[in-house]
Amino acid sequence: MNTYLQANRELWDGWAGFHPQSDFYNMEAFRNGASSLMEPELQALQPVAGKSLLHLQCHFGQDTLSWARLGAQATGVDFSGKAIATARSLAEDMSLPARFVQSDVLALDLEETFDIVFTSYGVLTWLPDIKRWGEVVARHLKPGGTFFIAEFHPGLMMFDFDTGKYACSYFGTEAPSFAEEVVGSYANPEEGTTRMEYTWNYSISEVINALMGQGLRLKAFEEYPASPFDCFPNMKPRQDGWFECAPLVGAPHLFTLLMRKPG
């Protein structure tokens, strides 16, 4: 296992230990029936009842279980053993028929295909090989199947959230775009533990081409000026309940892709 993957797995194992107790994930509301899914994915993919759905980089399973509540035959995948153990426990406790698999997404080969492959919000930045990721997505889609991603915009991620100044290339590089120590996490900066993370930035065209290169066809592409999550420094709420980074108002914050595999 390479240094980057090992460090990032240790990071996410650590985060999985306290994220379910954080206000950010609001597990009390979730256990009482609230969905963790956001408007972009709900509008793009519903109805999902009776459809098989593969959720890549599922963390501890909230979104996977939310899809299961809507009737999807849901499978969640994550490389963190701690996160997958928590997800399996939640599924059992809540009597939801979701399956969870521990795997590095770039090594995933389930030898089955799905009606929907879904991934969202802070996922691509952990992948050192975007073309390999595109292969994994395409391999797990049925002919006629749908792929959907909602992701933070690389045009936002190239700037520093505190100063608004340029911080990294918009385009992907072989080496990580960022190698830095983080204290706590986006869900709870006050947790206090310092961990190392390695992340990558990819342009929109690099993401689309990784998927189109595997034969997927682009059906819809959207960009948004705000984020549904208050997960970065200096975020301020808007009247619509979404958030924007104060030094970067007007910058694209989110993008979505809807793609299909030819039938």
pLDDT at 228: 97
**Mean pLDDT score of the chain:** 97
Note the pLDDT of residue 194. Answer: 97
- Mean pLDDT of all residues in 41-49: 98
Per-residue pLDDT tens over the stretch 222-244: 999 999 999 999 999 999 999 99
**What does the pLDDT read at residue 2?**
85
Q: Which residue is it, tokens 């992948």?
A: 127
* Tens-digit pLDDT profile for residues 240-260: 999 999 999 999 999 999 999
Confidence of residue 169 (pLDDT cuts 50, 70, 90): very high
94-149 pLDDT tens trace: 999 999 999 999 999 999 999 999 999 999 999 999 999 999 999 999 999 999 99
Domains of the chain, start order: 3-18+53-260 (3.40.50.150)
Q: What is the pLDDT of residue 9?
A: 97
Which of 127, 132, 125 is closest to 232 using CA atoms? 125
Q: How many residues does the chain have?
A: 263
Burial class (CB in 10 A: 0-12, 13-18, 19+), 42: middle
- Does residue 59 register a pLDDT over 90? yes
Q: At 46, list the tokens.
A: 């519903």
Question: Contact 142/114 with Cβ under 8 angstroms?
Answer: yes
pLDDT at 82 exceeding the cut of 80:
yes
39-44 long-range contacts, Cβ below 8 Å, gap at least 24?
Answer: 39/228, 40/150, 40/222, 40/224, 40/228, 40/254, 40/256, 41/118, 41/120, 41/148, 41/150, 41/256, 44/148, 44/220, 44/256, 44/258
Q: How far is CA 24 from CA 80, 103, 154, 184, in A?
A: 19, 25, 23, 13
pLDDT band at residue 71 under the 50/70/90 scheme: very high
What percentage of the chain exceeds 70 in pLDDT?
Answer: 100
How are beta strands 235-237 and 99-102 bridged, if at all? unpaired
Residue 23's pLDDT is 96
**Per-residue pLDDT at 1:** 56
